[in-house]
Amino acid sequence: MILHFAVLAALAAAACSGGGVDARDAAETPGDARSDRADGDDGAEIPHDPARAVTALAVDPAGAELWIGTEEGAARVTLAGGAITRYRAADGGLPCDAVATVAVDDAGNAWFGHGHAVKGTGATVYCGLSRLVPSTGQWTTFTQEGDGLIDDRVFTLAVSPRGTVWAGAWLGAMPCTASGCGAWFDWHDCATPGAHCKPIWSYHVGDIAFAADGTMWLAIDLLVIGIQPKPGGVARRDTESRTDTWDMSDGLPTNQARRIAVDGEGRAWAGSPSGLATLDPGSDAWRTVMEVDALDLAVDGRQALWVATASGAVERLAGGATRTLTRADGLPSDEVRALAWFGASVCFGTAAGVACLDTADGAWTYPY
């Protein structure tokens, strides 16, 4: 996706004001984002605002809109002009305000995974998967009851090169369409094994990523059931539907893979609380390259790897050189939770809003 950063100039004026806006009727008027963003230069603690606490980012295929998931609803930023439209459960669209993941399919439809428990309900409630057709405003919700969703705790979404939306949940991964979802979790029993497959006992999918040829990679997190968590690792499904798996015995720093990314050379990167590891093409041995607690991963158009952490965003260039960006460099918060990129720009979803960096000229904008 290519979006000239000149288009983002208007985003310097875009800000997120408090309170819900009915997404069916109006978009917010952009304000002064630089004055509204949390300025960390004085080291003061940033007040927590759930509506600005970002949990997920996605850019539409046309590079025209930035979609944002937060602890309290979702938002859409129109990049040409910076208008912000918010979506809340109270508006009759989202099934609940807790958004864990966002993806935009090839038709421009927005998908939201609701993997976090709903707050203030008095009971543990999860809301499954929801889909918005922006052109019509039509919402669809998918749950375990009747829609084929294997579990209502959806943590990650990814769109394959063929345009298929895949959802990763507490109990498996599944392809989804407008009519429903179907489950797949062959890493558990290696029914269709590749050259390197052994059972991974956890079903908990933390992340999904696709290589350019359509090979699917999955980060399998721990499945905490009872007193003995079921171990995870990394799974791969190739274009012939064969499954390969890896765990600590293959060089991963832990049996808990939280995030996954694939670069342009087909090299996989797995992030966990115990470090960042990589698997070179043609190899079956992972190697740890960075001791970091990775909250998200992204490979930008320059093939630089970005790692979101609770203490900033780490950039790792192809040659291995790294740098860390923090509030002192322009981030709204050191706690970086989500990443997205388009053109020369990388966007960082933080606990206090979104900042985008033009890697070509170093300019920052603050769309949310």
Q: Considering the chain, what percentage of its residues have pLDDT values greater than 70?
A: 86
Mean pLDDT of the chain: 87
Q: CA angle at residue 78 from 35 to 103, to 5 degrees?
A: 110
Output the pLDDT for position 216. 97
Give the pLDDT score at 195.
94
- Residues paired with 59 in a beta bridge: 66
Give the pLDDT score at 281: 86
Domain limits, the chain: 5-34+47-298
Model pLDDT, residue 44? 65
> Which pLDDT belongs to residue 123?
66
pLDDT attached to residue 342? 87
Q: List pLDDT tens digits, range 255-302.
A: 999 999 999 999 999 999 999 999 988 889 999 999 999 999 999 999
Q: What is the pLDDT of residues 291-326, one digit of tens each?
A: 999 999 999 999 999 999 999 999 999 889 999 999
Mean pLDDT of 124-143: 92
Q: What's this model's pTM, rounded to 2 decimal places?
A: 0.88
Architecture of domain 5-34+47-298: 7 Propeller (2.130)
